[in-house]
Amino acid sequence: MKLATKLFYLCPSYYRNLSELSEAMSISVSQIYRVRSGKRSINQKFIVGALSAFPQFSFDELFYMSPELAIGDTPSPAGATSDTRQGVEAYSMAQDKTQSQPRSLRIPLAERQVNSVK
C-alpha cells in the first residue's frame, strides 16, 4: 500500500497553476510534479505543505491509501483510507505546527473577485 493524494483533483479550484500551489505548500514545483507523475512518493514535507495549502480540508480528505502503482499511473481516490503510522505521525506533526500559526482560508478561484481594467 502507498499513501496517495486527492490534492491534484482539488488544486484547479483553489490555485491557478503548480507554481502557485508550490508557493502555498512551501515546496518546489518539481517535487509537486514528481509526486503527481508518480516518480516520487509523498513524504512528510509534502503532507505538511498540503495541509497548509488546504487548511479547510482534513488529512483524511486530502490523503488515502492506494495499492502500489507503476510509475505514471494515476491513483484513484475511491475507497481511500489513511491508517498508516507514517501518515498519522506526519498529520500530528502538521497539526502541531499549524495550530501555532494563524490559518488563513484560501478562497476558491471561482469565488475570487477579479478587478477588470476598463
With H, G, I as helix, E, B as strand and everything else as coil, classify residue 86. helix
Q: HSE (CB half, 13 Å, CA atoms) of 24?
A: 21
> Which tens digits make up the pLDDT trace of 38-92?
899 999 999 999 999 999 999 999 999 988 755 555 554 544 444 444 554 555 5
Fold of 2-68+79-103: 434 Repressor (Amino-terminal Domain) (1.10.260)
Q: Which grid cell sits at 111?
A: 469565488
Quote the pTM value: 0.59
Residue 4 pairs in a beta bridge with 64
